[in-house]
Amino acid sequence: MTAATQVLPGATLGVMGGGQLGRMFVHAAQAMGYATAVLEADASSPAGQASQHHVLAAYTDEQGLAQLAALSAAITTEFENVPAQALQTLAAQRFVAPAAAAVAVCQDRAAEKAHFQRCGVPCAPYAVIESAEQLAAVTDELLPGILKTARLGYDGKGQARVANRTELAAAWAAMKHAPCVLEQMLPLHREISVVLARGADGACVQLPVQQNLHRDGILAVTQVPAPEVPAALQQQAMECAQAVAASLDYVGVLCVEFFVLADGRLVANEMAPRPHNSGHYSIDACDLSQFELQVRTLCGLPLSTPRLHSPAVMLNLLGDLWFDAAGAQREPAWAEVLALPGVHLHLYGKAEPRRARKMGHLTVTAATADEARRVALQASAVLGLAPF
């Protein structure tokens, strides 16, 4: 169903997926006066713990989908790998944002790259590899490169660096000859992202450009304002993100990640049809968080441009922090961290810490960017995180 009337507080909003993004959406919706319903098979999921209703079902379970539709006035997703067909099924009964067609593009790297090109948004040179013939046809210019599975890859998973054709063939075989995209390896200087919200009426607002640092393929640090990104490049990134969203006729919160190359050029890396890890700081540093924007786009409410009221640094908290050097489990030194000024701790309610698992995040806000960074470095030292 398409958006027709506003969904006002008091209604129930549905969300596909029970992870931390769903949990933060639930918190934002409840703060605005909505009830929530989460569909997720994990009985102890972060979003399910926080929601008034928890539909315990797989994403493709017909009865579960029917129950979610019956409970909800409108439905969103917190995870890009929710099957697009499930969103299509729900859309026959309720307004769903983002739409299944837009999510499907984001689920497939080949479709995503092609979409960037259609929008005139630069991306890394690439080739699609789905057959032995396409593997043989790869041009020398694409090597060395990064081979990525076309579907179901995130946080650095489903990727391999390849220096030559022998390594490329071996990596594709290791990925069981799944459809892949080979991207030319480019000289990267910086990583940035743009989080925007677009309504059904085409209105579009954005968070400030985020400067990001990844470690082992997982976001580690986000700084806002982006300290080392020229204003003209930030403007280009925002315009590119808007073009991507407009051409998808997108409704919801969308993140587009970019690489800044050594020569200063900007190329799009990938996009996520949902709030994004790099936008979590907005809960504490902006007057509108990315999750309230998600609620507003889903409900047809007016969008206003988020205002950054405090410079911020966000640190991702992975499960590694719960283990000492000998591998014994322990609790991080929260009291020492919370004694620092401007520190906001967010833990996601995950029962079991595991290495590389996102357990929470820490946002440091301050009157100046330098002060936020100084305190964030102190917090990093307390927790045993590498400096940045």
Domain ranges of the chain: 12-96, 125-184, 188-383
The set of residues, in sequence order, having a beta carbon less than 8 Å from that of 13 and lying 6+ positions away, is: 7, 29, 34, 35, 36, 37, 72, 73, 74, 75, 76, 295, 298, 299
Mean residue pLDDT of the chain comes to 96
Reply yes or no on whether the pLDDT at 42 is more than 70.
Answer: yes
Q: What pLDDT does residue 154 have? A: 65
Say whether 220 sits in a helix, a strand or coil. strand
What's the CATH fold of domain 12-96?
Rossmann fold (3.40.50)
Task: Name the band, by pLDDT with cuts 50, 70 and 90, for residue 152.
Answer: confident
Homologous superfamily in CATH for domain 188-383: ATP-grasp fold, B domain (3.30.470.20)
Q: What pLDDT does residue 48 have? A: 97
Q: Average pLDDT of 252-257?
A: 98
- Long-range Cβ contacts of 338-342 (<8 Å, 24+ apart): 340/364, 340/375, 340/378, 340/379, 340/382, 341/366, 341/375, 342/310, 342/366, 342/371, 342/372, 342/375
| Residue pLDDT, tens place only, 291-339 | 999 999 999 999 999 999 999 999 999 999 999 999 999 999 999 999 9
Reply yes or no on whether the pLDDT at 99 is more than 70.
Answer: yes
Q: What pLDDT does residue 288 have? A: 98
Which CATH class name applies to 125-184?
alpha beta
Q: What pLDDT does residue 155 have? A: 62
Read off the pTM: 0.95
Q: Average pLDDT of 5-11?
A: 95
Q: Average pLDDT of 181-196?
A: 97
Task: Name the band, by pLDDT with cuts 50, 70 and 90, for residue 4.
Answer: low
Token pair in block for residue 87: 């969103």
Task: Name the band, by pLDDT with cuts 50, 70 and 90, for residue 156.
Answer: low
Token pair in block for residue 152: 């179901």
Reply yes or no on whether the pLDDT at 143 is more than 70.
Answer: yes
Q: Positive or negative CA dihedral for 23, 29, 35, 37?
A: negative
Q: Average pLDDT of 154-169?
A: 88
CA distance 62 to 123: 38
